[in-house]
Amino acid sequence: MSFLTAVLAVKQGSKPLLDTAFELEERGVTALFGPSGAGKTTLLKVLAGLIPKRHTLGSVINSKHGVWESEQFHLAPDKRGVGLVFQHQQLFPHITVAENLTYAQKRQHDGPKLSFDDVVTIFGLGSLLTRYPQALSGGEAQRAALARALINAPRLLLMDEPLAALDWAARTEILIALNQIKSELQLPMVYVSHQWDEVIQLADHVQMIEHGQIIRSEPLAALTTDIDFITQEQRLASAILMTKVLGHLPQERLTELTLGDQSILVPMITAKPGADVRLLIRMLDVSLVAEPVARSSILNTLACRVAHIKDHEGVALILLACEGQFFNARITGRSKRLLELKVGQPIFAQIKATALNSPGPQDG
Amino acid sequence: MSFLTAVLAVKQGSKPLLDTAFELEERGVTALFGPSGAGKTTLLKVLAGLIPKRHTLGSVINSKHGVWESEQFHLAPDKRGVGLVFQHQQLFPHITVAENLTYAQKRQHDGPKLSFDDVVTIFGLGSLLTRYPQALSGGEAQRAALARALINAPRLLLMDEPLAALDWAARTEILIALNQIKSELQLPMVYVSHQWDEVIQLADHVQMIEHGQIIRSEPLAALTTDIDFITQEQRLASAILMTKVLGHLPQERLTELTLGDQSILVPMITAKPGADVRLLIRMLDVSLVAEPVARSSILNTLACRVAHIKDHEGVALILLACEGQFFNARITGRSKRLLELKVGQPIFAQIKATALNSPGPQDG
Amino acid sequence: QAEGPARIAVAANFKATLEALIEALAGSEPTAIAHYQVVSGSTGLLFAQISAGAPFDLFLAADSARPEQLHARGGFSRHRPKAYAEGVLALWIPARDAPWPDVLANFDDDLAIANPALAPYGAAASELLALPLFQQVPRQIQGNNVNQAYQFVETGNAQGALISLAQLLQAKVPRDQYYLPPKTQYPLITQARILLSDHPAARALDQFLSTPSAQTIIQRAGYRSPLALE
Amino acid sequence: MDQDLITLGTSIRLAGLTTLILAVFGTPLAWWLARSQSALTAICIPLLALPLVLPPTVIGFYLLLAFSPQHFFGAAWLNWFGTSLAFSFEGLLLGSLVYSLPFYIQPMIVAFKEIPAALLDAASTLGAGWFDRFLTLILPLSKNGLLIAGTLTFTHTLGEFGIVLMIGGNIPGETRVLSIALFDYVETLNYDKAHLLAAGLVGFSLVAMILIQWIAKDRAGLNPEARR
Amino acid sequence: MDQDLITLGTSIRLAGLTTLILAVFGTPLAWWLARSQSALTAICIPLLALPLVLPPTVIGFYLLLAFSPQHFFGAAWLNWFGTSLAFSFEGLLLGSLVYSLPFYIQPMIVAFKEIPAALLDAASTLGAGWFDRFLTLILPLSKNGLLIAGTLTFTHTLGEFGIVLMIGGNIPGETRVLSIALFDYVETLNYDKAHLLAAGLVGFSLVAMILIQWIAKDRAGLNPEARR
Ligand SMILES: Nc1ncnc2c1ncn2[C@@H]1O[C@H](COP(=O)(O)OP(=O)(O)OP(=O)(O)O)[C@@H](O)[C@H]1O
Ligand SMILES: Nc1ncnc2c1ncn2[C@@H]1O[C@H](COP(=O)(O)OP(=O)(O)OP(=O)(O)O)[C@@H](O)[C@H]1O
Ligand SMILES: [Mg+2]
Ligand SMILES: [Mg+2]
């Protein structure tokens, strides 16, 4: 079931800013991805109800909670229960950070609720509570804005590049927190970001937008193994492998994961044996060898089969099938010839253990 | 010679926001790197003269162009010739994008000058010139702000996370342009960013700031091969290798570079044979093997020597010396034992050609 | 000063009459009207201005106190103040529907008068009311001057006014709408003038005011002549 | 001076009520004028400033005409409330409202035009409805405007006497206000009393205004000091 | 009506000059009051609103005292310029300036308080000095304030007559202004002329204000419409 289905049309004068069908899954995080000026911010604003009717003629939004927008009708933003984290924060300047939070808390929607203290801890706002927004740094303001949106208990959370001004450490921490919130609170979210790394750590669905139109909408896993997509968007291409924890090797600070019958070693994570773990496999981190290398710093060699080959401007994109899941490698044409790669052929994929990424707590 | 030397002290009430010595090289880009709230924005503002004297008591700034700040003295911002690209853009809302640019152009400082058309082309503002800033998307506004600062011909350009709201493609393009501007116009720049990838593509010097103090200030190359730094900041660790173009292999879309006596193949770039090329080697992209692997998708295997080993929480950081230059590998403790690594020992480093990055135009 | 027209400062209630007087003075020679500039205002205001050195040549006050004061203070005029008119109080009740005695006995509506502190007609009216003129003293609505008191009634907001006869004549109010209380029942409302300069036109007007023809005009306008009394 | 105290009371009541009523009804009106896209506002804003071009006494005269039971408005009022507007405190209040409206509304329009729409958007996604936003954002964010509009209205109503005299009729304890008393003293050359009263009025107003300013002081640092 | 035309000329000259002079000198003053951190401003803002609490006639009276050659200021003026201030157009202008100052300054303070400091910072790094910033940023960004402050000042000066009557002396062609003429017509029960003049004044002002608003129309979309 979907959280909402919509036809979105936004015009500025005669210029269409948005003109597309849109559907949002009931569960999980949908990443909205697209170039600058594609209409991402505009899309979030229509969903939140912030664009006045005269600009949205022709839009229809049917949500799980009722009609939000139709030919004659426009449900006021404060009635939609949609949280929005703005690109430019928009903290209320006349009250402190703490008051910004309580403002949102007092007006909670009927979505999943977080306590004040939890939110303050998650976003590291402890020392900033008595500050006025003007006295925050860019990253501090962004954290406060996220906190304010979450404590408001929205039914749907829209986030417009919420981590753009954050350093790596804060970003990682908040991504982990958002992942927890997603799974524990089952709060549906739309996440706009230019950072594919962020998207892939958080998203379940990806929608690509360009020139005001949703041009793709797919589960993350489908997208990352779609060879055409990968060809087009090589810079983005990463895949997700679903694995389970087999056990930990504390003295080596490694965790052993199983992927079907094979095993993969990754830097130690906290998940319990048997837990599901999502592994990020970046195309660029995969190398192929004809046979396993004895003495190499690369710990993981997976036996795979070539599922698809696509030549593209001197580079070969290889879709690899391994225990029923897929991931990609990107190699040069020269390497392809050297390895005499063909579809269906068995091959060994080397993945650096250190290159693996999982959304749970982990070392860098 | 340095562009400026300074002692910076900024207080808000009794709270010190900045309290540090600071020096800026005359040439090249200095990256200012540090966590959220460290004082980066504050530092740029003192340099630009935007913090009033009563908050900067004790600050002294001596620039190449004269004294900017001393015990009694505060040179007005409009006299310093310092360009500043703000975290929140600050385009003038009452005039169009084109008028924002001409505003800056009419008030050019005596720094290196770019033409209106060049700036518009570099930042892709062609279709936005008649728009008012309110009608720009986040990324569009950021490009316009950068353009405005550059067309103003500053002597020194300060940029506060100028690419944070940009998508990957725009970011890459602008980084390339900034690199060109750096080398062609010799405009000194300070660049604040949370993205180490950006820093490493652009910067010549790196200064790390924390709690209002500059804790490190080094040439990029020194920093990226400093094993202690790498240990601490593993997520950042990349190294730069200085190479020269040997020739191109157009049919394979590869370019051959030389590193001393060895050669490296990278996706084809446009630089002419003999040109200097800066290669980004990310620690995570380097794997080590005891002997070269015959049939592998990894094209480049460099003969190196282990220069230093540092064990850190189950992981081993290896500093590799190759033809007089240095780069790093990060491997698991298990791999280290497997390879029986010791300082001084010869070893082969595999680097995926596709993983190499150069600041010039290139494919992804 | 002698170059330009003579500036005559006049209490607002006398302005229309003064203009008629100037016309009469000019007689067959209409250009002579241009020798006069009439500035009207409340007596208090004009007095304050003259005290501050206003360039007026002749001052026609609505009372005799202020010309006297100007004279007494010295420095403003070597001339003596002279009375030029005497005000007549009239009780105006436009909607009168009974003989006057009944009206005086039963009137219980709002009565407009001029501010007794500022205007001599107000002070006179106030005394008249204290007599009492009416059987029960009505609520008094004060205008700044008689003209405002007149407007209160004219606009229908007040039902009666104790104001000057001159106004009623000027406004051509039918005779049956007003009643003239006996002049013995209220103090004399002597209006005095004082010459402030030697401007020839001003002198001419000053002298003209004492002539019978001028006094006739003044009487016709609803004033009594102070000269006739002497 | 007893009389003057009563008069002072009437004055303060008049100025206070005028300011209060304008604050209650004028504020939303100013918001509408500042924010509406309707072409109507382009006419309404000048229209509301029009009372200013006429001398107060003249406005007073026209109001007096309107208040008259012979005219529609005055007759209707008389019908509903049984009392006439002229020479009553209510009439005075109405006149002050008409005349002071621009002094209240115009600064408020300026203040309201500057409130960033995005902040209101943020509040509405947080679940704040129109009235909620008005109370919790619009008013606090236009504090400077409110302060100045209130000050202008209050002081101007205190000082105004042209209209007040015309439609009030200077009835002691009812429609006699301080400005008329002061005017009387000056006109009757009672300078000592005039000076005393003027000094008192000025002193009182100054202290009141400084006090209000101090209470409403900008504690958030929403001022040029703000570093971002 | 010839007379009235001259009077209209004097009125427009007075209102125009008052507005112009206040625009030139009041604008920087308002900026200083809005932006200065100095404790002085906390006193100055109320102080400048003070003329409003006194009835215009009373202010006029005090001004008349000040203008009188028996007092320091009047004497000094006479010394320097050889003419007296009272009953001259210059005196009228001075009086109007004093009385209209708050109407100009207060809305400008509101407008100026809202200008984002960061935009000024941006301009100064681009090389714009103080005066440059004032002309190219501060003024355009406070256009709404300027418009409203100007309108208030102009209309109020047109309509004001208490001060003008007191210190001007109602001298035709020199200090007789439209508001006094209108006042006179009403006072002397000359209603037809009064209605005509009032209608003319109101009509003229309305057209002028709508025109100015239209010229100064917000073409940048700095309004609630602005989508960000
Ligand atoms: N008021 C307006 N008038 C005209 N065009 C507008 C207006 N507002 C936005 N646009 C255009 O609409 C398009 C979509 O804008 P939007 O802000 O949704 O982009 P975005 O996808 O969020 O981009 P970014 O990643 O840069 O923030 C952009 O091309 C922008 O220039
Ligand atoms: N007016 C103020 N009062 C108190 N503290 C302030 C004020 N302004 C800034 N700070 C604090 O000063 C520190 C430095 O701020 P600054 O904006 O320079 O950080 P930054 O390094 O740019 O961070 P970011 O990457 O998040 O933008 C922050 O901790 C911030 O909270
Ligand atoms: Mg956007
Ligand atoms: Mg910052």
CB of A12 shorter than 6 A to ligand 1: yes
Q: What's the residue count for chain E?
A: 228
pLDDT, position C1? 40
pTM of the model: 0.82
Does the beta-carbon distance from D140 to A82 stay under 8 Å? no
Residue A6 located in a structural domain: yes
Same domain for A56 and A105, yes or no, is yes
Among B167, B195, B224, identify where a domain stops. Answer: B224
Residue B295 located in a structural domain: yes
Per-residue pLDDT at A327 exceeds 80: yes
Query: For the ranges A301-310, B225-234, C100-109, C167-176, which has the lowest average pLDDT?
Result: B225-234
SS3 content of chain A, % helix, strand, coil (to 5): 30, 35, 35
Averaged pLDDT for residues C9-17: 87
Number of structural domains (chain B) is: 2
Per-residue pLDDT at A262 exceeds 80: yes
Query: For the ranges B275-289, B303-317, C4-18, which has the lowest average pLDDT?
Result: B275-289
Pairing of β C89-92 and β C178-179: antiparallel
From the list C47, C69, C142, the residue facing D169 with the nearest CB is C142
**Chain D contact probe: residue of A53, A65, A107, A158 with most D CBs at under 10 A:** A107
Interface contact D219, partner B, CB < 8 A: no
pLDDT, position B235? 58
Same domain for B200 and B274, yes or no, is no
Residue A233 located in a structural domain: no
Same domain for B66 and B101, yes or no, is yes
Q: What residues of A are in contact with residue E219 (Cβ under 8 Å)? A: none
Averaged pLDDT for residues E180-203: 82
Triad B216, B221, B222: Cα angle to 5°:
45
CB of A51 shorter than 6 A to ligand 1: no
Same domain for A171 and A23, yes or no, is yes
Confidence of residue E22 (pLDDT cuts 50, 70, 90): very high
Q: Where are the beta strands (DSSP E) in chain A?
A: 2-12, 15-25, 29-33, 60-63, 66-69, 82-85, 156-160, 189-192, 205-210, 213-219, 238-249, 254-259, 262-267, 276-282, 286-289, 300-312, 315-322, 325-332, 346-351
Same domain for B187 and B328, yes or no, is no
Pairwise pLDDT comparison (B226 vs B87), residue with the higher score: B87
pLDDT in tens, E33-72: 888 877 777 778 778 888 888 888 788 888 888 887 778 8
Averaged pLDDT for residues E195-223: 74
Does the beta-carbon distance from A364 to B332 stay under 8 Å? no
pLDDT, position B325? 83
Q: Find the CATH number of the domain harbouring B277.
A: 2.40.50.100
pLDDT, position A156? 92
Is A in contact with C (3 or more beta carbon pairs below 8 Å)? no
Question: B288 phi and psi, to 5 degrees?
Answer: -115, 140
Chain A's closest residue to E227, CA to CA, is: A51
Q: Where are the beta strands (DSSP E) in chain B?
A: 2-12, 15-25, 29-33, 60-63, 66-69, 82-85, 156-160, 189-192, 205-210, 213-219, 238-249, 254-259, 262-267, 276-282, 286-289, 300-312, 315-322, 325-332, 346-351
pLDDT, position B181? 83
- Average pLDDT of the residues of chain A: 83
pLDDT in tens, B162-221: 888 888 778 878 887 888 888 788 889 999 988 777 777 788 888 989 999 999 888 877
For residue E26, the 8-state DSSP code is I
Measured between CA atoms, how close is D68 to chain C, in angstroms? 5
The alpha carbon torsion through B86, B88, B93, B99 (nearest 10 deg) reads 40
Same domain for A198 and A328, yes or no, is no
Residuewise pLDDT in 10s, chain D (228 residues)? 567 778 888 888 888 999 999 999 999 999 988 888 777 777 787 788 888 888 888 888 888 888 888 888 888 888 888 787 888 888 889 989 988 898 899 889 888 988 888 888 988 888 888 899 999 889 988 888 888 888 888 888 888 877 888 888 777 777 788 878 888 887 777 778 888 888 888 888 888 878 877 777 655 544 433 333
What CATH number does domain D2-32+54-220 carry, 3.40.830.10, 1.10.3080.10, 1.10.3720.10, 3.40.50.2300?
1.10.3720.10
Q: Any idea which ligand is nearest the CA of A132?
A: 2
Each domain of chain D, given as residue ranges in start order, spans 2-32+54-220
Residue A229 located in a structural domain: no
Does the beta-carbon distance from E125 to B103 stay under 8 Å? no
Same domain for A43 and A192, yes or no, is yes
Q: Is D81 exposed, middle or buried (0-12, 13-18, 19+ CB in 10 A)?
A: exposed
CB of B203 shorter than 6 A to ligand 2: no
Q: What residues of D are in contact with residue C151 (Cβ under 8 Å)? A: 61, 64, 166
Q: Is C89 helix (H, G, I), strand (E, B) or coil?
A: strand
Does the beta-carbon distance from D107 to E103 stay under 8 Å? no
% of chain A at pLDDT higher than 90: 18
Does the beta-carbon distance from D227 to B12 stay under 8 Å? yes
Same domain for B125 and B271, yes or no, is no
Chain E's closest residue to A50, CA to CA, is: E227
Q: ipTM for the complex?
A: 0.80
Measured between CA atoms, how close is E54 to chain D, in angstroms? 4
Give the span between the Cα atoms of B79 and B88, in whole angstroms.
Answer: 23
Confidence of residue B234 (pLDDT cuts 50, 70, 90): low
- Concatenated DSSP letters for chain D? -HHHHHHHHHHHHHHHHHHHHIIIIIHHHHHHHHH---THHHHHHHHHHGGGGS-HHHHHHHHHHHHSTTSHHHHHHHHHHSS-STTSHHHHHHHHHHHHHHHHHHHHHHHHHTS-HHHHHHHHHTT--HHHHIIIIIHHHTHHHHHHHHHHHHHHHHH--HHHHHHH---TTTT--HHHHHHHHHHTT-HHHHHHHHHHHHHHHHHHHHHHHHHT---S--STT---
pLDDT in tens, B237-254: 567 777 888 888 888 788
Averaged pLDDT for residues C76-105: 87
Residue B362 located in a structural domain: no
Per-residue pLDDT at B153 exceeds 50: yes
CB of B45 shorter than 6 A to ligand 2: no
Residue A322 located in a structural domain: yes
Does the beta-carbon distance from B51 to D228 stay under 8 Å? no
CB of B135 shorter than 6 A to ligand 1: yes
Measure A198 CA to ligand 3 centroid, in angstroms: 16
Does the beta-carbon distance from D169 to C117 stay under 8 Å? no
Nearest to E195 by CA among E185, E205, E206, E208: E185
pLDDT, position E219? 55
Averaged pLDDT for residues C42-59: 84
> Which amino acid would we find at residue D83?
T
**Enclosing H/E stretch for B95:** none
- Average pLDDT of the residues of chain B: 83
Same domain for B138 and B255, yes or no, is no
Q: Count chain B–chain E contacts defined by CB atoms under 8 A.
A: 81
Q: What residues of C are in contact with residue E171 (Cβ under 8 Å)? A: 7, 37, 39, 55
Does the beta-carbon distance from E227 to A88 stay under 8 Å? no
Interface contact A11, partner E, CB < 8 A: no
pLDDT, position D177? 81
Same domain for B151 and B261, yes or no, is no
Q: Is E190 exposed, middle or buried (0-12, 13-18, 19+ CB in 10 A)?
A: middle
Range of the domain at B252: 238-355
Measure B258 CA to ligand 1 centroid, in angstroms: 45
Q: Find the CATH number of the domain harbouring B132.
A: 3.40.50.300
Chain D's closest residue to E40, CA to CA, is: D210
Measured between CA atoms, how close is B109 to chain E, in angstroms? 7
Interface contact B88, partner D, CB < 8 A: yes
pLDDT in tens, C177-197: 999 988 888 888 899 999 988
Same domain for A307 and A332, yes or no, is yes
Query: For the ranges A47-51, B40-44, B92-96, D73-77, which has the lowest average pLDDT?
Result: D73-77
> Which amino acid would we find at residue A357?
N
pLDDT, position D36? 81
Same domain for A47 and A113, yes or no, is yes
Measure E52 CA to ligand 1 centroid, in angstroms: 49
Measure A231 CA to ligand 3 centroid, in angstroms: 26
Q: Whose CA is nearest to atom 6 of ligand 2?
A: A135
Does the beta-carbon distance from B295 to A315 stay under 8 Å? no
Question: For chain A, which chains pass the contact test of at least 3 CB pairs under 8 Å?
Answer: B, D, E
Confidence of residue B232 (pLDDT cuts 50, 70, 90): low
Measured between CA atoms, how close is B249 to chain D, in angstroms? 52
Cα-trace Rg, chain E: 20
Interface contact A45, partner E, CB < 8 A: yes
Triad A278, A282, A288: Cα angle to 5°:
115
Does the beta-carbon distance from E228 to A88 stay under 8 Å? yes
pLDDT, position D222? 43
Averaged pLDDT for residues A22-33: 88
pLDDT, position D21? 95
